[in-house]
Amino acid sequence: MDFDLAPEQREFTRTVEAFVDDVIRPHAERWDEEAELPMDAVKQMAELGLFGLPFPEEYGGMGGDFLTLCLAIEAIARVDSSLAITLEAAVGLGAMPIWHFGTEEQKQRWLPQLARGEKLAGFGLTEPGGGSDAGATRTTAKLVAGEWVINGSKSFITNSGTSVTEFVTITAVTDDNNGKKEITAIIVPNGTEGFEVGKPYRKMGWHHSDTHELSFNDVRVPEANQLGLRGEGFKNFLKILDDGRIAIAALAVGLAQGCVDESIGYARERTAFGHAIGDFQAIQFKIADMAMKTELARTAYHKAAWLKELGRPYKMEAAMAKLYASEIAVDVARDAVQIHGGYGYIEEFPVCRHFRDSKILEIGEGTSEVMRILIARELGLAQA
Amino acid sequence: MERKKALNIAVCVKHIPDPNLPGELDGQRLKRAGVQGVLDPGDEFGVEAGLQLKEAHGGEVTLISMGPAVALEAVRRGLSMGADKGVLVSDDALAGADALTTARVLAAAIAKAGPFDLVIAGVESTDGYTGTMPSSLAEFLGLPQLTFVKSLEGAEGSIRVNRQTVEGYHVVESPLPALISVTAGVNEPRYASFKGIMAAKKKPVEQWSLADLELSSDDVTVNQSVTNIGKAEERQAGEVVEDDGSGAARIADFLKEAKVI
Ligand SMILES: Cc1cc2nc3c(=O)[nH]c(=O)nc-3n(C[C@H](O)[C@H](O)[C@H](O)COP(=O)(O)OP(=O)(O)OC[C@H]3O[C@@H](n4cnc5c(N)ncnc54)[C@H](O)[C@@H]3O)c2cc1C
């Protein structure tokens, strides 16, 4: 039994924390208000190698492991969830599908620029008609004279419309034999005729993360843009989402830790009735609970990442980590606002933003309900 | 094209208690044992200066440190940033060493690891703040010293620096070999990338004792002692000036008094 991170993981985490303090913290509030992805910060994150962490050097990566990526996501999310999800989605949803399911040629072509962080990519699964029921995909793709012709739309796609977005991998129904849909993943480069990126959404949180609705109107891409085997799009993205859940848990832990840190600082400074409010047990107990939940959620995602790294089954642990971490993140953020009193409701105090940023964690990359369904299924319970 | 002469550079680095944590006293001294340590943030400027010179002229950056075994972390940090190799002098006889002793030991280590074209140190450490080590070191090494460097430029066989003064700066040039002490702000130290951290694990670090440097415990007898410790003066409240139309002039006077303009 060993709970220690490797020395290089610890050192890199410290580096990322210092980077976040210098480059991100001073601007996070303004970026949130401007509600636009700060490309300069993304570029500096790229220079640090963050976008290539889990990929081998020959594909432009850093040769690190998945847990190191999660640690970096956690370190960023302490301060800025929008940039943390930008990294999480770029690596987990943009580059990972290419890495896992791409042919050698596809990897050579698409991966290095993503791993170096020069380009971003999105992953389009959710549709206006439904996200949880991913099998209900309506977007279609038909093979015509060596080209996939795509029609349909996708909603809420992260990193799909930045100035450096190279492509979006989408899932589409490629055959519908007797109601048994065949779903295939296809790479659609931005700028392809008929592929339109909608206006950015106005969101509750994650303001400076880039999210768009996408529409496809007779979009033609070469057959070679098919990612993975025909008909395996559904199976493949489920695997991608398993990994993504560990990373979302890390993001949630970062947000919760940020709330704990802000609350401790505030409780020491703020006085009421002649005492620092941190001297009151009611506040102390709240902070103790917040810290406990955060630490347990951290342990849960570390364990899921550890299982994954060893090549052992981790589906249930990943779902548990995501479910627990996202739910405690919302609780912890709400309590942090409470500890801050009226100031917690004011944007100058980071906990205000953290609270708004927390809610999506219970929805994105599988809702809490879907996580419970998955866990129950892994426990062998039949579905109604 | 004329090939530039590569520079062999030594950078002094110190492992200190994390300055972001509240410091604790151990008698008359800063408590170090068991405290989370870091590479002195002031030394990151020295490492960066060395790396930039190496990138411009070719050559090698060697980190030189004195400290207990955990000080290896500070050396590794500098290697992660991109330095090529390290030397750590550790010896039980060095516990509680003062700035003069440190300079003597570092001089011996630099002499053994060299010859170097340039030795770089921070102006002062972030824990002890004596600010005397770089000058002592230059004396022991018999090198010209260019202190309080706020910017620098290497050339063939020489170095030219802007030396911070109260009123502005002096431009100083010296032949190499030389020693410079750099201020915070001389550059913007890079962050160690993950690749840099992984590569650092494989870079060579020599660990020397006093005997390896042919020094005896007599050579490192501490002559300085701390006689008293007091609280730093509380910061005074600032002066508030109502602007009755003369505000701009008052500000200009104030800045002149502070020798800023
Ligand atoms: C900011 C943001 C970024 C996003 N980024 C991406 C992206 O990059 N790529 C992408 O593909 N998607 C993305 N999404 C979409 C996200 O993954 C979906 O919103 C999510 O999966 C839920 O799908 P839905 O919104 O269609 O809700 P629905 O599936 O319509 O669910 C509505 C409610 O019903 C519940 N529910 C559904 N089925 C069941 C059931 N069987 N039992 C019990 N309860 C059920 C759900 O849990 C939920 O509470 C993003 C969303 C947001 C808001």
Q: What is the ipTM of this complex?
A: 0.78
Residue B1 pLDDT level (bands cut at 50, 70, 90) = very low
Which residues in chain A are closer than 8 Å to B197, comparing Cβ atoms? 8, 11-12, 15
B4 pLDDT band, cuts 50/70/90, is low
pLDDT number for residue A80: 98
Instruction: Give me the CATH number covering residue B218.
Output: 3.40.50.620
Q: Are A162 and A37 in contact (CB under 8 A)?
A: yes
> pTM, whole model, 2 decimals?
0.88
Quickly name the fold that domain A7-120 has: Butyryl-Coa Dehydrogenase, subunit A; domain 1 (1.10.540)
The reply to whether B236 falls in a domain is yes
* Average predicted confidence (pLDDT) for chain B: 88
Q: Is the CB of A367 under 6 A from ligand 1?
A: yes
Quote the CA–CA distance of A355 and A84 in Å, as a whole number: 15
Closest-CA residue to A347 (of A165, A205, A183, A218): A205
Residue B162: inside a domain:
yes
Q: From CA B72, how far away is CA B70, in angstroms rounded?
A: 5
Domain count, chain B: 1
Residues A223 and A147: their CA atoms lie apart, in Å, by 5
- Is B2 contained in some domain? no
Read off the pLDDT band of B177 (50, 70, 90).
very high
A160 CA closest ligand 1 atom index: 8
Pocket test for ligand 1, best of A126, A137, A238 (most atoms within 8 A of CB): A126
Across the range B73-87, mean pLDDT stands at 95
Cα→Cα distances A255→A293, B32, B49, Å: 12, 32, 36
- Contact of A11 with chain B, judged by CB distance below 8 Å, is answered with yes
Considering only residues A214 and B231, tell me which one the structure prediction assigns the higher pLDDT.
Answer: A214
Residue A6: pLDDT over 60: yes
Q: Report whether pLDDT(A271) > 60.
A: yes
pLDDT digits (tens, 9 = 90+) for A305-349: 999 999 999 999 999 999 999 999 999 999 999 999 999 999 999
Q: In terms of pLDDT, which residue wins out, A134 or A365? A: A365
Q: Whose CA is nearest to atom 7 of ligand 1?
A: A157
A46 touches chain B (CB under 8 A): no
Q: Which of A37-51, A60-74, B117-131 has the lowest mean pLDDT?
A: B117-131
Q: Taking residues B254-259, what's their average pLDDT?
A: 83
Q: Check residues B29 and B124 and name the one with the higher pLDDT.
A: B124
Q: For the domain with range A235-378, which CATH number is right: 2.60.410.10, 2.30.30.50, 3.60.70.12, 1.20.140.10?
A: 1.20.140.10
With contacts defined as CB-CB under 8 Å, which chain B residues touch A8? 194, 197-198, 201
**Burial profile B171-210: b = 16 or more Cβ within 10 angstroms, e = fewer:** ebebebbbbbbbbeebbebbbbbbbbbbebeebeebebeb
DSSP three-state, residue A4: coil
Indicate the residue of A11, A19, A62 with minimum beta-carbon distance to B195.
Answer: A62
* Residue A337 to residue A331: CA distance in whole angstroms: 10
Exposed / middle / buried, residue B30 (Cβ in 10 Å: 0-12, 13-18, 19+): middle
Pairwise CA distance, residues A103 & A119, whole Å: 19
Q: Quickly list DSSP for B18-31.
A: -TTSPP-EETTEE-
Range with the poorest average pLDDT among A49-53, A232-236, A290-294: A232-236
Are B194 and A19 in contact (CB < 8 Å)?
Answer: no
Q: What pLDDT, on the 0 to 100 scale, is given for residue B129?
A: 76
The H-assigned helical ranges of chain B are 41-57, 72-81, 99-113, 133-141, 194-200, 247-257
In chain A, pLDDT over 90 holds for what percent of residues?
92
Domain with CATH 1.20.140.10 in chain A: 235-378
Cα distances from A278 to residues A116, A274, A341, in angstroms, run: 44, 12, 13
**Residue B168 contacts residue A22 (beta carbons within 8 Å):** no
For A121-231, give the CATH class. mainly beta
CA distance A48 to chain B (A): 5
Average pLDDT over residues B98-116: 91
Cβ contact, residue pair B194, A57, below 8 Å: no
Could you tell me how far CA A366 lies from the centroid of its own chain?
Answer: 11
Q: Is A53 helix (H, G, I), strand (E, B) or coil?
A: coil
In a domain, B1, yes or no: no
Domain of B196, in residue numbers: 7-257
CB-based contact B191 A48, cutoff 8 Å: yes
* Lowest mean per-residue pLDDT among A122-131, A153-162, A214-223: A122-131
| Cα–Cα distance measured from residue A59 to residue A308, given in angstroms and rounded to the nearest whole number | 21
